Structure 1
Amino acid sequence: MTDLVPGHGPTDSDLATTGDPIVDPGLPEHLPRPTDVDPHAEKRAERQVAGFFGGSIVLVLLFVVSYFAFDVGDNPDTFLGIGSSTLFLGLTLGGALLFIGIGAIQWSRKLMNDQEIVEQRHPARSSEEDREVTLAALQAGIDDSGIARRPLIRNTLLGALGALGLVAIVPLRDLGPLPGRTLYKTVWREGMRVCNDVSGAPLKPEWIEIGQLVNAEPEIFYNGEPYGQETITGHEQLVAKTKAAIIVVRMEPGDITPAKGREDWGVDGILAYSKICTHVGCPISLWEQQTHHLLCPCHQSTFALADNGKVIFGPAARALPQLPLAVDDEGYLIATSDFTEPVGPSFWERG
């Protein structure tokens, strides 16, 4: 360790023989700032800090205006050969954050206490007395910042931070339309065949062994004509396949305890459930053959498929929606209807 100022401060031998706080660590003499002695300078500095916070609010509002004002897409607005939307969104958001940072720095440099504090370092948890002293020092720092007695700075800072929330809210518009009741129905219809989700081949009961799990989708994604619709493609197909995804499992019929009204929803121990976890929508297919439990890999929600898909562990609040099954004239597994309840994660509208 070396002295900060020649002739001052402790030596290494001093520190080795004493554990007392350093009386003179060698810091230069403290000099008052203009804002410490001149009330006019203090007020001017306060207005400067508030000006930066206020400027941040203005830039956030300009961010919102830029978001809606400039066209994007096939014929975007440009400025100096650069996409206007991207340019001005970046400049306004960056400027808003910069102004908050500058304002905070000016506040600490010109208005907060600049006295140096020396603190003992401890290798382990401090004593209760030291903790109380530390909390008192923290409270003294809060009091010294003047946030309670400088409402102009406090209010403009809160306004600037609050305005930044618009930056997070406004772009949510790009996520697409509000979901509405989109999870209340899927493409499953009466008579629609159940197909292996990889090969697209329709499934027959005799091809599924006891204890087996098959990931499946409706046949419309592979052959739409039998259902009076063209095969769904592109983005619509991705959305539809996500909602319609199911897992098909086979158990001993005697192990199944169907709920009232679901006695005929399976075929020789074969049941179908939504593949989407009812917690936050993760895809699930971790199948325990012996216990007939299905586990979600995200948060370990566990569903008893032999007991109507009810939740037996984890954060999920609803049982897995079950798809009623039957067999058509050619012996293929088919759905007898769409799901009778919404698929996907739970949300506030549901009972």
Structure 2
Amino acid sequence: MSSTEHTSLAPVEDDARLPVADPGLGEHVERYTDTDPAAARRAYRQVVTMFGLVPLLAIAFVVVYFAVPQDLWVPLLGTHWPLNNLLLGLTGGLAVLLVGLGAVHWARQLMSDHEMVEERHPATSDAATRAAFAEKVNAGVVDAGVSRRGMLLGSFGGALGILAVPALVTLADMGPWPTAAVRRETIEKTLWTEGEVVVNDVNAKPLRPEDLEIGQLVNAEPASLFDLNGHDYLTEKAKSALIVVRMDPNRIQIPESRRDWQVGGILAYSKICTHVGCPITLWEQQTHHVLCPCHQSTFDLGNSGVVVFGPAARSLPQLPLRVNAEGYLVAQSDFTVPVGPSFFERDSRNDYQEGDQ
């Protein structure tokens, strides 16, 4: 091709660009429920049966929730399953599944089966179009067969309505109402009591004062924790966890009100950060500071656990210690203030502040 020659793009005709003709609306094939009254009655009974089973499953869900113990386990597929959760999943899941299956079966077999083609139109509708839409909705209600098969709408509405009952019942799992009495017996109470032995949280070995060197930090728990299992074990471990440290008594500040809470410079504090509850173990021996790894709240264990940096607003709760007749470290009582992150309902007047005696 010479330099003077060039090519031009010829316009593509619609016939070349759209080689497949508009097929239009295909031949309509009648459904068997439209041609066979017996088949229509059978589909009708199937839909009503599916909707009718939903209330029974919802009632079974509620019965299982209250009657089956949560600590009951059954062997299944090579492992142990909590029976309560298994039955709740089966009854609740089947109820929702039957609502969906019933609605789909109703639409496919009993609602109107007229096919139509409608041209696209602008998104904005005028008054005449809205009026026409209302007429179509009314016609759709007629086509759905509600007027001729009265139990369809009633059973469908009942099936959907009864599903609210299991949902409301499960709201009880959010826990008891946090009254002052409930808080005292739950989140404000730990396993630590007078005489409870302090043990290493790894091997459950009781701690003696001579086991700790100056500058050492040990993660500890109450001895009675290891008598628990499952949910009770995890709950109590989260509340009762300790950090036990030994510092030079001459280099720390021990207020007069807490003079008998320590044993030769050995002090015990809650391991749970008072900000959002992260476990604390980042120990600085020289400064006597312990840091929270989550948000860098810093507490001075050499000064009754007061906050020296970070978002935490409360001192670390301190556990009073003594030595029992066998020479082991034991608690004098439970924590004097609630452990863990702050919450609106708690009383903060007993929290230790800088300068308190």
Aligned to 1:133: none
Residue 298 to residue 165, structure 1, CA distance change in 2 (3 Å): farther
Residues in 2 aligned to 1:84 and 1:242: alpha-carbon distance in whole angstroms: 29
Select between 326-335 and 281-290 the one with higher mean Cα deviation.
Answer: 326-335
Deviations 1:67-102 (A, max 9, x none): 4255656699xxxxxx7642442355579999xxxx
**Shift of residue 340, structure 1, vs aligned partner:** 0.8
Aligned to 1:194: 198
**Shift of residue 322, structure 1, vs aligned partner:** 0.3
Residues in 1 aligned to 2:282 and 2:15: alpha-carbon distance in whole angstroms: 70
Residues in 1 aligned to 2:216 and 2:223: alpha-carbon distance in whole angstroms: 21
Give the alignment partner of residue 89 of structure 1, picking from 64, 70, 92.
Answer: 92
Residues in 1 aligned to 2:269 and 2:237: alpha-carbon distance in whole angstroms: 14
Aligned to 2:229: 234
Give the alignment partner of residue 334 of structure 2, picking from 338, 347, 350.
Answer: 338
Residue 174 to residue 62, structure 1, CA distance change in 2 (3 Å): farther
Residue 88 to residue 202, structure 1, CA distance change in 2 (3 Å): closer
Residues 1:171 and 2:155 aligned together: no
- The SS at the match of 2:293 is coil
Aligned to 1:350: 346
Select between 257-266 and 166-175 the one with higher mean Cα deviation.
Answer: 166-175
Aligned to 1:270: 266
Residues 1:211 and 2:210 aligned together: no
- Written as runs of structure 1 = structure 2, the 5 A alignment for 1:228-307 is 232-235=227-230, 236-307=232-303
2:270–2:319 CA contact under 8 A, matched in 1 = yes
TM-score by length of 2: 0.52
Structure 2: 5+ residue stretches without partners: 1-11, 18-53, 75-85, 102-118, 125-129, 131-162, 348-357
1:308–1:322 CA contact under 8 A, matched in 2 = yes
**Shift of residue 285, structure 1, vs aligned partner:** 1.5
Residues in 2 aligned to 1:261 and 1:289: alpha-carbon distance in whole angstroms: 25
1:194–1:216 CA contact under 8 A, matched in 2 = yes
Residues 1:68 and 2:62 aligned together: yes
- The SS at the match of 1:214 is strand
2:225–2:236 CA contact under 8 A, matched in 1 = no
- The SS at the match of 1:184 is coil
Aligned to 1:313: 309
Q: What code does the residue aligned with 2:205 have?
A: A
**Shift of residue 202, structure 1, vs aligned partner:** 1.9
Structure 1: 5+ residue stretches without partners: 9-59, 77-82, 99-113, 118-139, 141-145, 147-163, 223-231
Residues in 2 aligned to 1:75 and 1:187: alpha-carbon distance in whole angstroms: 27
Residues in 1 aligned to 2:164 and 2:312: alpha-carbon distance in whole angstroms: 30
1:213–1:248 CA contact under 8 A, matched in 2 = yes
Q: What code does the residue aligned with 2:62 have?
A: F
Which protein has the larger Cα radius of gyration, Structure 1 or Structure 2? 2
Aligned to 2:37: none
Deviations 1:276-320 (A, max 9, x none): 222232222221222222222233322221121122333333211
Residue 169 to residue 190, structure 1, CA distance change in 2 (3 Å): same
2:254–2:304 CA contact under 8 A, matched in 1 = yes
Residue 219 to residue 66, structure 1, CA distance change in 2 (3 Å): closer
Residue 62 to residue 221, structure 1, CA distance change in 2 (3 Å): same
**Shift of residue 348, structure 1, vs aligned partner:** 1.6
